[in-house]
Structure 1
Amino acid sequence: MQAAAPTSQETPRDSASIMLLQDAPAGMQVLLLRRHAKASNMAGVYVFPGGKLDPEDQWDDGAPQLDQTRQTLASALAEPGTPPERAAALYVAALREAVEECGLLLAEPTAGGQPLDAAAARARLRGGETFTSMLQSLALRLQTRALVPWSRWITPVAPSMASRRFDTRFFVARAPQGQVARHDNQETVDTLWVAPRTALEQYRDGAIDLAPPQIMTLAHLARHASVAQVLEAALRQRPPTILPQAFDDHGSRVICYPGDERHAVRERAMPGPTRLLYREHRFYPERGFDALFE
């Protein structure tokens, strides 16, 4: 076996992704959005809402639109090398992307008795208003307390499905009640509430496309029966950092994860298989689909 040749040495861009969850009669569901077929990155793939960090996501400490201090958010993120202002910005980015991409607003009025109008907030953003200005205009405070860090994924040096590298923090949150998720028909073209295992079954059957981070994360989420269980598990753990490593096995591409014998980090970072094989335009565990849930 030979290591795959690196294709990109660029520094990964900071980004944030939010896994919005809801309890349904048939079990817990997660929100997936389909990327536009002409998107520059992961075209046509179903992803969690998210995107890269914007300069406007970095706020001064004590900003009235933030419900926790930057230091508190940095402590929860548990990344010693990430300064508090950058840690807080990642929370802001995740919440901003939720509004922009699917119209879900995790915020609260700063004055009692005021209604929360997610549609109006999204309309202001579509009209060109900045996220900070929108929150100020509508007198809203972000609910960073609703977000719990889940994991940190860094795109490999040789990306599998993308031309850019990202350093993405995945958060979990309960979807706000009384709001309806809708794709924006620009970056995203479909909205799917689905049980994590069902999403993986649809991927296996060719009905949807997923990237490896979503595959492994959905397999992890599928081990929990409710939103409360996911949030409790997230609060108990230190968010693992996952930098996949790739190699070629007789002409087939293999991605391995911490804990695999070929990975530089020998300690496991998450349950499930420690490697995925790429064949017939799909990523699969070596021992077959069911190995995702072992």
Structure 2
Amino acid sequence: MAGRFWREAASLMVVGRAANANSKIPKEGFELLFLKRNEKSSFLPNSYVFPGGVSEPSDFSEEWFDVFKKCGYEPSSLLKEFRTNAPPPMMYSNKTYPIIPEIGFRIGATREAFEECGLLITHHFPFKTLDKVELGKWQKNVHQDASQFVVMFQELGGCPGIWDLHEWISWLTPTHLSRRFDTAFFITFMEKIPNIFADDKEVVDVKVVSPSEIMKQWHSGAINLPPPQIYEVSRLLSIDSYDDLEKFARERGKKGMDHYFPVKIFTKNGFVSCLPGDDLYPEKPDYTGEQAQLVVQESIEELRGLALNHHRMEMKEHNVKLFVNITPKYGHISVKNAMEIMSQL
């Protein structure tokens, strides 16, 4: 189905240790990197998002085998390390390229982070830092041609730091939108997020902020956050330690990557975006958008009362609320307690 109805993408949640991580102030142990998309962007204009973008065939090219071999990694060892017994998400089953999807999507996420904001995550890279001119040259080359990412490592050495990326979740854009993406979200950690500057083209602003601060800004209406960012940041509100989050992400990432496809139900006073596990989530979701949109006569509140198991986002104009009382799959963090925190922000 991918290709006709949506494109596949990869996104990277970059977590840095906060400067005041040793303080006793809750929710300030780590920070996240957000990039603001240009107002002219064809997808999510003016929104703050995690670095990421569309996957390219070059992310799955067999040329990467030589890059990894020069760093001491054979294809068989990579397969053994990244292929787990966890059920693969739908987007992994669509790939038949030489590089397995567990690696190819990680390469795509690192490439997009470099392309969008110059953040280069590597292993065995011979240069701790590149000259700004040299870095800018390669960033421009990769922006113009994604296949230049592998060329950069062929010429400079090293390889993408795929070991530093842990599987987190995948989100498929709802139906009846002009542009749709099935996006694999990965999470990575660094002691300090380096200084990153907007290029005033694709990216017009950069924020490195704690989960609580970005949610405060969103609640006040100062910034736009897309639903996946709202949901995923909400998970993080229940963790206040950089070390705890890193340990959790590293261990949980081996258990599987769940797939969230929101199904919209339009009510008389807004709409509900249902997720898997909700009592109102359809047994056979309409992934292609060929069916009519779901419309009911009840209000959002009345619809909530018709279900015992909630996994949904309720939206009235710009007011968004999460209601989750299910246990997430694959040992993931629930946003139940996080919503209680958010209500106090």
Question: TM-score, with normalisation over the residues of structure 2?
Answer: 0.71
Root mean square deviation of aligned Cα: 3.0
- Rounded to whole Å, the distance in 2 between the matches of 1:74 and 1:15 is 19
Higher helix fraction (1 or 2): 2
Aligned residues with identical type, % of pairs: 27
1:126 aligns with 2:120: no
The equivalent residue for 1:11 is 5
Shift of 1:10: 4.5
Per the alignment, in what secondary structure is the counterpart of residue 62 of structure 1? helix
| Structure-1 residue corresponding to 2:302 | none
Matched with 2:313 is 276
Quote the residue 2:84 is aligned against: 75
Tell me which of 211, 215, 218 is aligned to 1:196.
211
Q: 1:58 to 1:115 in 2, by over 3 A?
A: same
3-state DSSP class of the match of 2:84? helix
Q: 1:56 to 1:156 in 2, by over 3 A?
A: same
Aligned to 2:244: 229
Determine which of 240, 243, 267 is the counterpart of 1:249: 267
1:115 lines up with 2:128 in the alignment: yes
Please point out which of 39, 62, 66 is paired with 1:63. 66
User: Given the superposition, is the C-alpha separation of residues 18 and 286 from structure 1 closer, same or farther in structure 2, using an over 3 Å criterion?
Assistant: closer
**1:1-294 superposed matches below 5 A:** 10-24=4-18, 25=20, 26-60=28-62, 62-65=65-68, 69=75, 71=79, 72-75=81-84, 79=88, 81=93, 83=95, 85-109=100-124, 114-117=127-130, 119=132, 120-127=134-141, 128=144, 130-159=148-177, 163-175=178-190, 177=192, 179-234=194-249, 235-236=251-252, 237-264=255-282, 274-285=311-322, 292-294=338-340
Partner of 1:190, secondary structure, is: strand
Rg comparison, structure with higher value: 2
Aligned to 1:269: none
Instruction: Find the counterpart in structure 2 of residue 268 from structure 1.
Output: none
- CA deviation string 1:44-81 (max 9, x = no partner): 00000000101211122633247664523343885173
Structure 2's unaligned 5+ residue stretches are 21-27, 284-309, 325-334, 341-345
SS in 2 for 1:44: coil
The 2-side partners of 1:186 and 1:77 are apart by 39
TM-score normalised by the chain length of structure 1: 0.82
Secondary structure of 2:240's aligned partner: coil
AA of the residue aligned to 2:93: G
Cα separation, partners in 2 of 1:118 and 1:277, compared to 1, 3 Å: farther
Counterpart-to-counterpart distance in 2, 1:178 and 1:155: 29
Q: Residues of 1 paired with 2:184 and 2:85: CA distance?
A: 12
Question: Higher mean Cα deviation, 230-239 or 248-257?
Answer: 230-239
Q: Is the 2:17–2:190 contact (alpha carbons within 8 Å) kept by the matching residues of 1?
A: no
Provide the aligned length of Structure 1 versus Structure 2: 275
Deviates more, 1:119-128 or 1:182-191: 119-128
Tell me, in whole angstroms, the C-alpha distance in 1 between the residues paired with 2:54 and 2:234: 24
- Separation (CA, whole Å) in 1 of partners of 2:194 and 2:86: 27
Runs of 4+ that moved beyond 6 A: none
